[in-house]
């Protein structure tokens, strides 16, 4: 029973302090684009990220090329960068357009790292 209050405190602290856990209760984390982000910011994120890491997976004909919309492509690219750079909170900020999630955003044949 003592584990529940400690876990609650840790999760509360991480949410209120802006500090994100790399693992939450043993769960992996992913970085995705905030739905409220504007298209220009997401497009800028994609351009920057794809100059730093391999983004072939979002190119036409590859597993994560559909749906072909900016939020999908940005989410995949942002997660590629987040994964490549060590899953640190700051590797998912992207001028406050990134969001760390604990639910695997993979779909169909598109697997998020």
On whether residue 57 sits in a domain, the answer given is yes
Count of domains in the chain? Answer: 1
pLDDT for 12: 37
CA dist 9 and 60 (Å) reads 45
Paired strand residues for 107: 110
- The total number of residues shown for the chain amounts to 113
**Sign of the CA dihedral with 66 first, then 88, 29, and 85 last:** positive
On whether residue 107 sits in a domain, the answer given is no
On whether residue 12 sits in a domain, the answer given is no
Using one digit for the tens of pLDDT, what is the confidence trace for 22-38? 455 567 999 999 999 99
On whether residue 106 sits in a domain, the answer given is no
CA angle 9, 11, 86 (to 5 degrees): 135
CATH number at residue 42: 1.20.58.1040
CA dist 5 and 71 (Å) reads 36
pLDDT above 90: percentage of residues in the chain: 75
pTM score of the predicted model: 0.77
Using one digit for the tens of pLDDT, what is the confidence trace for 59-96? 999 999 999 999 999 999 999 999 999 999 999 999 99
On whether residue 8 sits in a domain, the answer given is no
pLDDT for 26: 63
Residue 54 has pLDDT above 50, yes or no: yes
On whether residue 10 sits in a domain, the answer given is no
Tokens of 91: 């590797």
pLDDT for 8: 35
Per the structure, the complete domain to which residue 46 belongs is given by 20-101
Q: Decide: 113 and 105 in contact? Cβ < 8 Å.
A: no
On whether residue 67 sits in a domain, the answer given is yes
Nearest by Cα to 64 from 113, 102, 13:
113
């Amino acid at each position: 029973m003592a584990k529940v209050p400690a876990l609650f405190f840790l999760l509360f602290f991480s949410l209120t302090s802006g500090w994100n856990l790399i693992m939450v209760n043993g769960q992996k984390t992913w970085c995705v684009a905030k739905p409220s982000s504007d298209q220009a910011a997401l497009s800028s994120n994609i351009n920057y990220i794809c100059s730093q890491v391999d983004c072939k997976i979002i190119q036409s004909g590859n597993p994560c090329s559909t749906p072909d919309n900016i939020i999908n492509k940005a989410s995949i690219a942002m997660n590629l960068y987040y994964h490549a750079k060590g899953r640190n909170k700051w590797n998912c900020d992207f001028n406050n357009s990134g969001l760390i999630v604990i639910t695997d955003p993979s779909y169909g044949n598109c697997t998020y790292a």
